[in-house]
Structure 1
């Protein structure tokens, strides 16, 4: 699968690079964009097949759509390998579906979960991939606002649509995504502290 993705990406990239006489910078940007799109699309197909075999394809679609509305503005955990990303994504969606089917949500619990999610995105979002450039302060503020609005929208729709299946799934997806942000932030803080300690030990006063 990985080899096939690389071949497809290379051929599409080569076609556009030649057809439109792209400069080096535009060529690099195009290649990165193609890699992201083709990688994500292939993962979506694999995950859909897996959950179809488990007879949970509609649950997966609901969860995937909910995640797709929020993750672009919040970021989260990222994996260096294709297999690692697939396995984590499968575990993430399976856990979200398991929670939907296993836990009954009353008004109080639902409200607490949404307040938790709002606080996390306001305090921590966005946490982009290391491959992306650093966001400006204005963009960070915009992403925080959009993330919060998406969460508020799902909260109101959950209650106003008589607990539609999509919005039931979206609750747990949003909560798990926010837990991802906590884990990612913790990892970044640990790495930063580790680097500082290494520098102190390397160059003692």
Structure 2
């Protein structure tokens, strides 16, 4: 993993150097660009690893379904952030094992249980969103409120999607557990 971190750092510096040589950018903006490049590269490596892991486990469709739901909410609500790539990767693997491997095996539950967890999840997402990271704070209250509304609406849309696929119990459980875990993340963060 040390090689990965060194490689990531060098690629990021190379890209930032190219940008600095071809554009006039302040030191503060340069730091933001470097952070964004590292984040994009890290997420790309993490996605490729997860993609192949769930491909090997024959759970790729559940992983992609869960990822789409998670990203449509998390991009606006935020969530837990880890200081190291290894911790982030381990947490992501754990989350997707729960959503893509374990949740689809849960038998159909009574509708009341799904409704209860829907209500609780949407309520938590509305109350706790957006949960920002220290490296990307949001100071503008209008932007915070807009992100709160978008994340809440996005979670409601995802829940409506789950009603559409209600005949596929495995996808329903995968989706509900994904939304529930995202809500729990907001509490923990």
2:80 aligned to which of 77, 82, 87: 77
Distance 1:141 1:26 in 2: 25
**C-alpha RMSD of matched pairs (Å):** 1.8
Provide Cα deviations, 1:168-189, integer angstroms capped at 9, x if missing partner: 52221110010111122xxxxx
8 Å contact kept, 1:157–1:167: no
Distance 1:53 1:134 in 2: 39
Give secondary structure in 2 for the equivalent of 1:130. Answer: coil
- Give the structure 1 partner of residue 185 of structure 2: 180
8 Å contact kept, 2:79–2:186: yes
| Greater Cα offset, 144-153 or 166-175 | 166-175
In the TM superposition, what are the counterparts of 1:132-143 in structure 2 within 5 Å?
132-143=136-147
Provide structure 1 residue ranges, at least 5 long, that are not aligned to the other structure.
Answer: 185-205
Distance change >3 Å, CA 120–CA 142, structure 1 → 2? same
Number of matched pairs:
184
Shift, 1:167, TM fit: 5.3
Distance 1:22 1:31 in 2: 12
TM-score scaled to structure 2, two decimals? 0.88
Distance 1:154 1:163 in 2: 16
Shift, 1:57, TM fit: 1.8
- Which structure has the larger Rg over C-alpha atoms? 1
TM-score scaled to structure 1, two decimals? 0.82
Provide structure 2 residue ranges, at least 5 long, that are not aligned to the other structure.
Answer: none
Distance 2:73 2:43 in 1: 16
Shift, 1:162, TM fit: 4.3
- Give the structure 2 partner of residue 61 of structure 1: 64
- Give the structure 1 partner of residue 106 of structure 2: 102
Shift, 1:126, TM fit: 1.2
In the TM superposition, what are the counterparts of 1:124-163 in structure 2 within 5 Å?
124-163=128-167
Shift, 1:166, TM fit: 5.3
| Greater Cα offset, 72-81 or 129-138 | 129-138
Distance change >3 Å, CA 92–CA 115, structure 1 → 2? same
| Greater Cα offset, 160-169 or 28-37 | 160-169
Distance 2:156 2:76 in 1: 14
